[in-house]
Amino acid sequence: MTMTLDGMAEYIKEHDKYVILSHDGPDADGLGAAYALAQTLEDLSKSAVAVVSDKVPAKFRFIDRRGLFKSLAGGGDLPFPAAEATAIVIDTHDIGYLGERAADLVAAAKRILIIDHHEPKAGSGAFDLLDPTASSSCELVYLIAQKLGVELPIDASEAIFAGIVYDTGSFSYPKTSERTFACALDLVQRGVKPYEVHNRMYESSSDGVLILQKSVISSLELCLGGRVALQSLGKEDLAASGASYEDAEDLVNIPLQDRRVEVSVFFKENMEGKLRCSLRSKGGVNVARIAQAFGGGGHKTAAGFSCRFPLVRVKDDVLQSIGLSMTE
């Protein structure tokens, strides 16, 4: 049974200590939602700490204007024992995506709540707020704050707006709804300046990002009659660019500019040698189902998974899975 917005609001009113986490390698949606929820809980005089497994990615540090996030990699204790707290996991309902340190913290908590908008996997718990119709986890946190009667301050409003912009592809993805625009309108009326948010996310990168883009685009292959684009990034090219792993995230979208390309696939390796596959679709292929078949998840048009095998081994399997989906 899935928890409703009203149920989540009632639970929050009745309990006092919270640890808020998002998936490993968090994006603007996970970070924005965690930041705004921490602010909301503090406004209600709750004890809340937002944590990240490692550190907030450089491109999204503008979200954490008050320095709320605690890095688990930095050591130190929480302000209260995890066993006394409810762990709120945001923007994923797969604990395996939290990272080892965060997963251990969640395991120690007295209860787990999940706030997520990805396609559901089997085994979701009874205390989940899982709404795959929502544009983003930030949209859900905005609605929770509304239910709780909390007036969002400008920095929390900007954090939510940034997450919505990021996860809707600047209000262009299929799950962008009337409710999404109503939320965005309210945030702008609270003082959020859309251009400033866009500038911080998309127009403030380093020279290394351009070099990274050049490297990734040079790897482009068109497969299955030009209907599928494949790109890859190895850790050597990542290091040579001087950019960060997070800077590569949006490059999966570039091949979709080609009118023939229906699915874009991007294999990227971090500096530790861990390989991840990102999938994007124009809607004709449900890439969430493909990602789930490889142990991942996501949305119909945007999904991903961590690769257990080298690129040379998994690439053909992914292309075969996409090809089968195209014939269904």
Q: How confident is the model at residue 127 (pLDDT cuts 50, 70, 90)?
A: low
Q: Which residues lie below 8 Å from residue 291, measured CB to CB, with a gap of 6+? A: 277, 279, 297, 298, 303, 304, 305
How many whole angstroms separate alpha carbon 130 and alpha carbon 20? 16
State pLDDT tens for residues 174-217.
999 999 999 999 999 999 999 999 999 998 888 999 999 999 99
Q: What one-letter code names the amino acid at 39?
A: Q
State pLDDT tens for residues 6-24.
999 999 999 999 999 999 8
Q: What one-letter code names the amino acid at 88?
A: I
pLDDT computed for residue 115 by the predictor: 95
What do you get for the CA distance between the two ends of the chain, in Å? 31
Are 112 and 106 a contacting pair, CB within 8 Å? yes
Proportion of the chain above pLDDT 70, given as a percent: 96
How many whole angstroms separate alpha carbon 89 and alpha carbon 103? 10
CATH fold label, 208-327? Diaminopimelate Epimerase; Chain A, domain 1 (3.10.310)
Q: How confident is the model at residue 126 (pLDDT cuts 50, 70, 90)?
A: low
Q: How confident is the model at residue 2 (pLDDT cuts 50, 70, 90)?
A: confident
DSSP label at residue 77: -
DSSP label at residue 205: -
For the chain, domain boundaries: 5-202, 208-327
State pLDDT tens for residues 64-113.
999 999 988 866 678 888 899 999 999 998 887 887 788 888 889 999 99
How many whole angstroms separate alpha carbon 222 and alpha carbon 207? 27
Confidence (pTM): 0.87
Pairing of β 302-307 and β 69-71 = unpaired
Are 51 and 19 a contacting pair, CB within 8 Å? yes
**CATH class, 5-202 region:** alpha beta
